[in-house]
Amino acid sequence: MCSFVTAIAVTIGVWIGGAGRADVNVFAAASLKTALEEIALQFEQSYETDVRLTLAGSSVLARQIAFGAPADVYISANVAWMDYLVAKGRIAEGSVRPVAGNQLVLVRPVPSSGEGPPTLEGVFAGEAEGRIAMALVDAVPAGIYGKAALQSLNFWDQASDRVVQTDNVRAALALVALGEVSWGIVYASDAMVEKRAEIVHYFAAETHPEIVYPAAAIATSKSSKSMKFLEFLGGDQARRVLLENGFVVRDKKP
pLDDT of residue 22: 78
Portion of the chain with pLDDT greater than 70, in percent? 89
pLDDT of residue 13: 43
Same domain, 19 and 84: yes
CA-nearest of 107, 100, 103, 101 to 195 is 107
Residue 251: inside a domain: no
What gap in Å lies between CA 157 and CA 161, rounded to an integer? 8
Residue 254: inside a domain: no
Does pLDDT of 15 surpass 50? no
Same domain, 114 and 199: yes
Does pLDDT of 77 surpass 60? yes
pLDDT of residue 128: 85
Same domain, 196 and 180: yes
Does pLDDT of 4 surpass 90? no
Does pLDDT of 60 surpass 60? yes
How many CA atoms lie less than 13 Å away from 245 in the CB half-sphere?
20
Contact call for residues 166 and 133 (beta carbons, < 8 A):
yes
Residue 172 sits in a domain whose CATH number is 3.40.190.10
Q: For residues 19 and 168, which has the higher predicted lDDT (pLDDT)? A: 168
Q: What is the pTM of this model?
A: 0.84
Does pLDDT of 210 surpass 90? yes
* pLDDT one-digit tens code per residue, 221-249: 999 999 999 999 999 999 999 999 999 99
Same domain, 216 and 90: yes
pLDDT of residue 155: 97
CA-nearest of 163, 184, 160 to 173 is 184
Same domain, 119 and 25: no
Residue 183: inside a domain: yes
pLDDT of residue 16: 37
Q: Going by C-beta distance under 8 Å and a sequence separation of 6 or more, which residues neighbour residue 204?
A: none
Residue 56: inside a domain: yes
Contact call for residues 26 and 71 (beta carbons, < 8 A):
yes
Domain that residue 239 falls in? 3-101+211-244
Structural domains counted in the chain: 2
pLDDT of residue 92: 97
Neighbours of 174 (CB within 10 A): 24
Does pLDDT of 21 surpass 70? no
Confidence band for 3, pLDDT divided at 50, 70 and 90: low
